Structure 1
């Protein structure tokens, strides 16, 4: 056998041996980590300079933590749970995420949509993402006190219900430490609805602990 043929045969043998070892281990090849964010204006950098929103800060956090993951921000300002549900199938097919972060529901409340519909949409989206092989993180929201104590309690509770029933991870309140800060107006844009750039690191800190668990 010529020297060149010997080298080629040896390399092929090594590759085949590695493939057999992997097959024999019973472990499938690990999928590249892809984090799909399906949210509304709170995740779409509404009113902010590009690159200053919490999702972009997440990309930086992943680099700092040396976590190899790609972030796909599919958030749309003004989106509702119905809108997210309608476009989720195409997003799952296009990006094949390993983790899906669902940050929707706030606009449902602003529009006075039935809570049962919001819960059903979130549940359906969670089930659909899980069926596609992704882990799901639900990001909860709360409404201002002027909505009434009963409505506020039921709205916040629907995120907990979906997470429990679907065995998904949960961030109870994206704006914890922002909307309930001692001086919350300092952390919001003039519309008093959308957090400003100063609030974005805190929003990421609210999401990160639960998201990091899923990335392990």
Structure 2
């Protein structure tokens, strides 16, 4: 019995520690599971989809409905300290765009967020965001260009805007025409997992 306990202690003491890779999601209602059951939201479904694609990630969803890029900038230092993520998926800017904020302000906020993330030795993954077409071509183009420009300048991955493929399916959208419903969440989780697989080795 003593030998068994000694062997068990040795295994626990000297077995290699498996470090979990952590993905922190910092977004708005598009990631926060707006108006749907939390357990059915795509960030909650994401780990299972990643497992199917031979990826093991601990997913922490720090998204808050209504957040702007400015809100994200204020929150990111505390989130980085608390969670110490390896990757940070930034899905912000939609609320800025809906309020007609200057593209320069949005770009500056996101740029500062990226710098803070990279300073903590985490990798930023930026999600492309677009505004509805009724905001006009000039503003829409200026807004959309924020994301590829930052991706190129900061040398970070740019993830496609998943809503572009969801919004064309009315049965996947809530009545407000802005947010995916519960039926769309499994597809979104699969989409995000596939895109992450191209980025995370």
Scaled to the shorter chain, the TM-score interval is 0.7 to 0.9
Secondary structure of the structure 2 residue equivalent to 1:194:
coil
Q: TM-score, normalised by structure 2?
A: 0.87
Structure 1 stretches lacking a partner, 5+ long: 20-28
Q: Among 55, 59, 62, which residue is 2:50 paired with?
A: 62
Q: Is 1:208 aligned with 2:193?
A: yes
Contact 2:47 2:56 in 1 (8 A): no
Q: Among 17, 33, 37, which residue is 1:49 paired with?
A: 37
1:189-200 maps to which residues of 2 (within 5 A)?
A: 189-200=174-185
1:169-184 maps to which residues of 2 (within 5 A)?
A: 169-179=157-167, 181=168, 184=169
Cα separation, 2, equivalents of 1:154 and 1:203: 26
Contact 2:55 2:197 in 1 (8 A): no
Q: TM-score, normalised by structure 1?
A: 0.81
Higher relative contact order (CA 8 A, sep 6+): 2
Count of aligned pairs? 194
| Higher radius of gyration, 1 or 2 | 1
Structure 2 stretches lacking a partner, 5+ long: none
Deviation (angstroms), 1:151: 1.1
Moved more, 205-214 or 159-168: 205-214
Contact 1:136 1:168 in 2 (8 A): yes
Structure 1 108/192 Cα, relative in aligned 2: closer, same or farther at 3 Å? same
